[in-house]
Structure 1
Amino acid sequence: MSRHDDIKLLRINYLRGPNMWTYRPVLETWLDLGGLEEHPSHLIPGFTERLCARLPALVEHHCGVGERGGFLQRLTEGTWMGHVLEHIVIELLNLAGMPTGFGQTRSTSQHGVYRMVFRARDEQVARSALEQGHALLMTTINDEPFDVDAAVATIRDKLDDCYLGPSTAAIVAAATDRRIPHIRLNDGNLVQLGYGGRQRRIWTAETDMTSAIAEGIARDKDLTKDLLKAVGVPVPAGQAVKTAAEAWDVAQDLGLPVVVKPSDGNHGRGVTLDLRHEPDIAAAFELADKEGSEVLVERYIPGMEHRLLVVGGQVVAAARGEEAWITGDGSHTVIELIDLQINTDPRRGLTEDFPLNRINITDDAVVLLDLQRQGLSGDAVPEAGRRVLIQRNGNVAIDCTAQIHPEVAHAVSLAVRTVGLDIAGVDLVTSDIAKPLSETGGAIVEVNAGPGLLMHLKPAEGMPQPVGQAIINHLFSEDENGRIPIVGVTGSRGTAQVSRLVGWLLHLNGRHVGLACGDGLFLGTRRVERKDSATWPAIHRLLMNRAVNAIVAENGAGTILGDGLAYDRCQVGVVTDMGRVAELERHDIQTEDQLFKVLRTQVDVVLSDGAAVLNADEPRLVEMAPLSDGEVLFYALDGANAALAEHRAKEGRGVFLQRGMAVLAQGSTELQGANVDSLCARFKAAGQDISADSVLAAVATAWAIGISPELIAAGLDTFVPELPH
């Protein structure tokens, strides 16, 4: 079989927001099949069999057939390689742990060239999946070897590098369930929830409500303990020490056994428990001294370690730990027994996908010290039947939320309020969390800011807890969604002028407006940049601005095609016309139907309590009305416009021109509003032209967003067009 040349990837573009394909970000790739245009799947001997052997789960892909096995049916009947690549990439993403079900492949006006898109939550992960999928496809076509497992591992590694951590992802998922939008602010876990002035920020499980003072207190375990003791929360007696000798003296004063730990450590590092002898305490001091700025010696509290999560003053989840033991067999070393008896537990692993960590004693000085206290080392061979304690803590992953005694919950909540944190993980030692601490002799040993959520999301035993939802409910009240009014304007004529007028009217209505349009970038009435700002980056900057409580954004067809929309939904979506612009040629938009698909994006994202504003003088725009999830307002130069009249007959709202004045109508009710001719004359006097239909679009938009007809009229009377530079 002669070798087929590689499919060429002509252009790869990440669409970061709603676009002509879907509401979600996608990776769009332009493919040149070359000679493979003449070789669909059924004309390449053995191709379908080889592909299915490499990716057996392709049988689950429904494709356009709409049922299991649909894609295999297309392969057998014959489909082109751009479509095949789409499904390969989707399956590789599924295998790597970023499941996606959306993809499309469409031909272009150039022979053998296709546009292929697939859903992608992260651009770098998507690019990695495309690269591996391309290689898999070509080696399958040419019957060459390919390591699918290695390809999936490569994508998974990129996913681990780029995607949100599990705690942050759980909070973002809960926000999405509440229809709260989010913006990732860095390559890590700093995320904005909501837009503009109604946003909140999280950094893993810390929020912009987390006090820096409280966080500082929580880092200082000795100070934390003093504050908790002062309000009656049970804590272990203890003292800070500077030397190993002082640690032994304090331990004798407190009464053995004791715990030695760093004052500002976390994740249990450097914490050694149940110490009874001077050499062990001296060794534990050295370990703790390496981890923190100060060493604490505390009285040992018998019982199991627990981690309780407190959000907004309420205990929302609890997990219990358990000790890890091995049993000697007289032939295997301690290290070998750990691998055979502990690390074989399928719940243990090296990534955050596992609720329990694999134990590697060479990386854990505390475990080595505990072994030494038992007269063993990693290479020692325990006699048959001997039980050896490997790990006293670090396995907190058994859900016990339902067992918490109300008095325990009260003490934990009081501890967090005393420190001043809004979200905290509280480490508690008790023999039975279902009983008051006064009965068990239990105590709170630490209060931690920025707690991990994984133990509650994926417990090793018990039910997962909705901790992400609890954090979102803490940040946003039931009737909040983090959104501010957004007006999106698209079209080819007068869109910057419409945007400027709407921004002015919103300003008069008491809003601090962010405006991004072809005339520049504006904050309130101040222009901060003069360059064309009808772009994704400029609009994105406004969404991030805490001072902004309303946004007007001009989105040309080129912006929608090149980047997608910067926002996920909007209050009002305006489409002024179906005119062509230069950018369309680059994107191979040749027909009116294709342009319709691009411009409808602005209508598709209108919220259910929002409105689409459409030019009724353009028949294709009238066809967009059913696409709006919210209300529809038409505007037209003539009140007798058929679409407008039909809309009014159904009690719909519309705006039209009558003797130079804008008329705002709903059903049979008509209200004379802004003086359109006067405004057009002022523009002309300033050396600019503005069409009457652009003014009507602005009037209809302002009315749609809730500005009164009286303020619209007065506001347009006071608008002063800029003189040309």
Structure 2
Amino acid sequence: MPTFQDIRLLRINYLRGPSIWTYRPILEVWLDLGELEDHPSNAIDGLNERLTAWLPDLVEHHCGVGERGGFLQRLEGGTWMGHVLEHVIIELLNLSGMPAAFGQTRETSQRGIYRMVFRCPEEAVARVSLEQGHRLLMAAINDQPFDLKAAVQAIKTAIDDRYLGPSTGCIVDAAGERRIPHIRLNDGNLVQLGYGAAQRRIWTAESDQTSAIAEGIAQDKDFTKRLLASCGVPVPQGQVVESPEEAWEVAQDIGLPVTVKPSDGNHARGVTLELTREADIKAAFALAEPEGSEVIVERFIEGIEHRLLVVGGRVVAACKGETVSVTGNGKSTLRELVDVENQDPRRGIEQEYPLSPIDVQAPAVRLELHRQDVTPDSVIEAGRSVLLQRNGNMAIDCTDEVHPDVAYFAQLAAKIVGLDIAGMDMILKDVAQPMAAQGGAILEVNAGPGLLMHLKPTAGAPRPVGMAIVDHLFPREGAAHPGRIPIVGIAGTQGNAFIARLVGWLLQLSGKLTGVASSEGMFLADRRTQTSSAAHWAGAHRLLTNRLAEAAVIQTNARSILDEGLAYDRCLVGVVTDMDGFEQLADHDIHEAAQMRRVLRTQIDVVLADGAGVLNADNEQVAELGELCDGEVLLYSLDADNPRLAAHRAATRTEGASGEGRAVFVRGQQVVLATGAAERVLGTLGALSLPGGQRPDTAALLAAIATAWALDITPDLIAAGIKTFEYTA
């Protein structure tokens, strides 16, 4: 069997927004198959068998066939290696816990050169997946060994390193369900939901409504407890101590048993419960001291630890804990029994697991074992139960059982501390009973609470806590498009910088603080903030993250769409002026004007259903993009008798909207706004000159007027705005 040279990866490009391929981020790879161009999948002995042995779930890939086993049919019938690589990568992502489905492979005008893409929300993960998929495919082609487990682990590691944590991820996913866009602001879990002035920010389960003062209060457990007690919230009696000796003295004063814990720790680290012996209390002090700035001794309250999640003043989820223990068999050591317990599929070191592995060498576990006169190497007699952990295992959902009185105190405590999102640790015998009757108490109020216990409980139903937080940040009775500001996207080459700046000026006059990202720089409220070109992904991104921007006008071009994708997922108005410039895009395998349609349609594909596409009727290819627009279409033309204009004016708007097509055109020297047969003269070209009599390009002027009209800016304001627009390139 011949050995084939590796498929060459000529170019790897991550498209971070809508592109010619899809609306979502993808990795685009240019492949040179080399000699494999003459060897499809059915021409290499044993290839298909090796692939399906390593990746049996390839049978679930429908591919273009549209049914289970579709891709296997393609393999058996003979398909090219770029297509095979696409499916191998998708399956590796699936095995790594990141569901993937979208991919495409297209040949180019050069024989053996293909463009292959697959969807992945994180560039680093996509690149590792490509590397591992490429290695697997070449191993299968050349009948060489391949470590599938190591490949999957490499991708999992990249996901753990780069992907959002489960708490942040569930909020972002919920925002996506409500069509609220998001922008990741750092390599961690700081995420912007929405654009510009309509944005909100989250950091794990904290929001930009989470008060720094409230967070500081919550971190000081002793002060929090005193504050809650002063407002009538039941809390355990306790006191800050400075030494092991003082801890024992205070414990005797309070009354045994007691709990010893750090004053500002989290995740139950350094907390030891139900202590009665002097030696154990002093040992617990040493355990708690490194975990916080101070140590608290407080009266132990009998019951089960519960966690209630309060969002926006309302309890949205609750779970309860359970102790962790192992039962002896008379043969195995405690260490061996724990090893068996750690095989529970709910336990793992990654954030996706609701329970952590048990470490018999952990100080808290060692203290519990000491209290029971047991060591990790002790053989535990048959039937004896050894307690390992008393807390930190809250993962049993009990949301539907919460008594209104318990919910009331949880909500009250969140308000007293001042947290909009709070995890309330409560000790209760029964969450379905009132607090006072069972002697329950609130132990801690936590800012930025983890959400995994509610997303993946070990028992009971998962709770939509991410959606609860999104609904808190973006009330459903609010804006029609929560998190969105009016965005105008302008694509093409003819006068587009002028169009962008004039539209920005008109939006500013209409009362919206407007940002403009154009080839002439960045502008905010008509003040230039950047002189270099901002007509690219990075420029638009900076504008969309600016909390001052109440509207945005963003200029782009074909190369930016091909190289980067759009910086926004949807826009209110999309403008295409022309399809020029194919001569400069040979590196993207574009060699004729007709190919520009596939590129520039991206600008119209992203128009919102209640938005509008503004198109140049004097260019047939541009005008034909109207059939792809989800919203209204406005045409503009230098010719009042343009037949496409006439047909459009007579046509009823699509998607059930009332009225006839709108258009802007020139008749003689008059600029006319038309809705069906109705016409309104905006003014003469002479009267619509800029200050000082400067005459802009007429086509660009019409495009700007049509765009402003699509934004519901009144004709009178449009005319006045043009006359006051001071334009300098």
Normalising by structure 1, we get a TM-score of 0.97
After TM superposition, give the deviation of residue 34 of structure 1 in Å.
0.9
1:691 is aligned with what amino acid? D
Instruction: Find the counterpart in structure 2 of residue 467 from structure 1.
Output: 465
After TM superposition, give the deviation of residue 346 of structure 1 in Å.
2.4
After TM superposition, give the deviation of residue 679 of structure 1 in Å.
4.8
After TM superposition, give the deviation of residue 594 of structure 1 in Å.
2.2
State yes or no: 1:714 paired with 2:720: yes
Q: Distance in 2 between matches of 1:678 and 1:218?
A: 64
Instruction: Find the counterpart in structure 1 of residue 409 from structure 2.
Output: 411
State yes or no: 1:35 paired with 2:30: no
After TM superposition, give the deviation of residue 345 of structure 1 in Å.
2.5
Deviations 1:138-162 (A, max 9, x none): 1111111111121111111101110
State yes or no: 1:613 paired with 2:614: yes
Instruction: Find the counterpart in structure 2 of residue 334 from structure 1.
Output: 334
Q: Distance in 1 between matches of 2:690 and 2:160?
A: 60
Q: Distance in 1 between matches of 2:381 and 2:690?
A: 100
- Single out whichever of 397-406 and 39-48 deviates more from structure 2: 39-48
What's the secondary structure of 1:12's corresponding residue? strand
Matches within 5 A, 1:250-649: 250-340=250-340, 342-362=341-361, 364-478=362-476, 479-480=478-479, 481-649=482-650
1:310 is aligned with what amino acid? V
Instruction: Find the counterpart in structure 2 of residue 658 from structure 1.
Output: 667
1:184 is aligned with what amino acid? R
After TM superposition, give the deviation of residue 575 of structure 1 in Å.
0.3
After TM superposition, give the deviation of residue 583 of structure 1 in Å.
3.9
Q: Structure 2 unaligned runs (5+)?
A: 652-659
After TM superposition, give the deviation of residue 691 of structure 1 in Å.
2.5
- Single out whichever of 588-597 and 275-284 deviates more from structure 2: 588-597
Q: Distance in 1 between matches of 2:426 and 2:377?
A: 34
- Single out whichever of 543-552 and 521-530 deviates more from structure 2: 521-530
Q: Distance in 2 between matches of 1:603 and 1:267?
A: 48
- Single out whichever of 350-359 and 571-580 deviates more from structure 2: 350-359
Q: Do 1:518 and 1:531's aligned partners in 2 also have CA atoms closer than 8 Å?
A: yes
Q: Do 2:617 and 2:637's aligned partners in 1 also have CA atoms closer than 8 Å?
A: yes
Q: Do 1:674 and 1:714's aligned partners in 2 also have CA atoms closer than 8 Å?
A: no
Deviations 1:112-146 (A, max 9, x none): 11111111111010000111111111111111111
Q: Do 2:100 and 2:119's aligned partners in 1 also have CA atoms closer than 8 Å?
A: yes
2:20 is aligned with what amino acid? M
Q: Do 1:675 and 1:713's aligned partners in 2 also have CA atoms closer than 8 Å?
A: no
Q: Distance in 2 between matches of 1:529 and 1:681?
A: 23
Q: Do 1:617 and 1:641's aligned partners in 2 also have CA atoms closer than 8 Å?
A: yes
1:129 is aligned with what amino acid? S
Instruction: Find the counterpart in structure 2 of residue 667 from structure 1.
Output: 676
What's the secondary structure of 1:545's corresponding residue? coil
Instruction: Find the counterpart in structure 1 of residue 655 from structure 2.
Output: none
Q: Do 2:330 and 2:382's aligned partners in 1 also have CA atoms closer than 8 Å?
A: yes
Q: Distance in 1 between matches of 2:493 and 2:601?
A: 14
1:110 is aligned with what amino acid? Q
Deviations 1:151-201 (A, max 9, x none): 111111101110000000000011001110000000010000000001000
- Single out whichever of 648-657 and 12-21 deviates more from structure 2: 648-657
1:533 is aligned with what amino acid? A
Q: Do 1:492 and 1:579's aligned partners in 2 also have CA atoms closer than 8 Å?
A: yes
After TM superposition, give the deviation of residue 715 of structure 1 in Å.
0.8
Q: Distance in 2 between matches of 1:81 and 1:310?
A: 52
Instruction: Find the counterpart in structure 1 of residue 215 from structure 2.
Output: 215
Q: Do 1:41 and 1:79's aligned partners in 2 also have CA atoms closer than 8 Å?
A: yes
2:242 is aligned with what amino acid? K
1:579 is aligned with what amino acid? D
What's the secondary structure of 2:310's corresponding residue? strand
After TM superposition, give the deviation of residue 54 of structure 1 in Å.
1.5
Q: Do 1:27 and 1:119's aligned partners in 2 also have CA atoms closer than 8 Å?
A: yes
Deviations 1:626-668 (A, max 9, x none): 2111111111112221121111112111111122222111011
Q: Distance in 1 between matches of 2:375 and 2:46?
A: 57
Instruction: Find the counterpart in structure 2 of residue 676 from structure 1.
Output: 685
2:711 is aligned with what amino acid? I
Q: Do 2:613 and 2:634's aligned partners in 1 also have CA atoms closer than 8 Å?
A: yes
Q: Do 2:690 and 2:726's aligned partners in 1 also have CA atoms closer than 8 Å?
A: no
Q: Distance in 2 between matches of 1:370 and 1:75?
A: 58
Instruction: Find the counterpart in structure 2 of residue 89 from structure 1.
Output: 89
Q: Distance in 2 between matches of 1:582 and 1:360?
A: 64
Deviations 1:593-628 (A, max 9, x none): 421010000000001110000111111122211211
Q: Do 2:334 and 2:376's aligned partners in 1 also have CA atoms closer than 8 Å?
A: yes
Q: Do 1:312 and 1:474's aligned partners in 2 also have CA atoms closer than 8 Å?
A: yes
2:487 is aligned with what amino acid? I
Q: Distance in 2 between matches of 1:549 and 1:361?
A: 56
Deviations 1:279-336 (A, max 9, x none): 1111111111121111101000001110110001101100000111222222211111
1:612 is aligned with what amino acid? G
What's the secondary structure of 2:316's corresponding residue? strand
Instruction: Find the counterpart in structure 1 of residue 127 from structure 2.
Output: 127
Q: Distance in 1 between matches of 2:346 and 2:120?
A: 29
What's the secondary structure of 1:633's corresponding residue? strand
What's the secondary structure of 1:601's corresponding residue? helix
Instruction: Find the counterpart in structure 2 of residue 197 from structure 1.
Output: 197
Q: Distance in 1 between matches of 2:87 and 2:411?
A: 50
Cα distance 1:693–1:388, how it changes in 2: closer, same or farther (>3 A)? same
Matches within 5 A, 1:79-158: 79-158=79-158
Q: Distance in 2 between matches of 1:116 and 1:388?
A: 56
What's the secondary structure of 1:634's corresponding residue? strand
What's the secondary structure of 1:695's corresponding residue? helix
Q: Do 1:676 and 1:695's aligned partners in 2 also have CA atoms closer than 8 Å?
A: no
After TM superposition, give the deviation of residue 682 of structure 1 in Å.
6.8
What's the secondary structure of 1:379's corresponding residue? coil
Q: Distance in 2 between matches of 1:38 and 1:389?
A: 65
- Single out whichever of 93-102 and 350-359 deviates more from structure 2: 350-359
Q: Do 2:689 and 2:723's aligned partners in 1 also have CA atoms closer than 8 Å?
A: no
Deviations 1:517-575 (A, max 9, x none): 11111111111111111111011000000011110000100100000000000000000
Q: Distance in 2 between matches of 1:661 and 1:109?
A: 47
Q: Do 1:320 and 1:399's aligned partners in 2 also have CA atoms closer than 8 Å?
A: yes
What's the secondary structure of 1:607's corresponding residue? strand
Deviations 1:9-34 (A, max 9, x none): 00000000000011111100111111
Q: Distance in 2 between matches of 1:296 and 1:405?
A: 29
Cα distance 1:128–1:349, how it changes in 2: closer, same or farther (>3 A)? same
After TM superposition, give the deviation of residue 256 of structure 1 in Å.
0.6
What's the secondary structure of 1:288's corresponding residue? helix
Q: Distance in 2 between matches of 1:615 and 1:674?
A: 20
Q: Do 2:582 and 2:592's aligned partners in 1 also have CA atoms closer than 8 Å?
A: no
Normalising by structure 2, we get a TM-score of 0.97
Q: Structure 1 unaligned runs (5+)?
A: none
What's the secondary structure of 1:553's corresponding residue? strand
What's the secondary structure of 2:585's corresponding residue? helix
Deviations 1:482-529 (A, max 9, x none): 100000000121111111111111111111111011111111111111
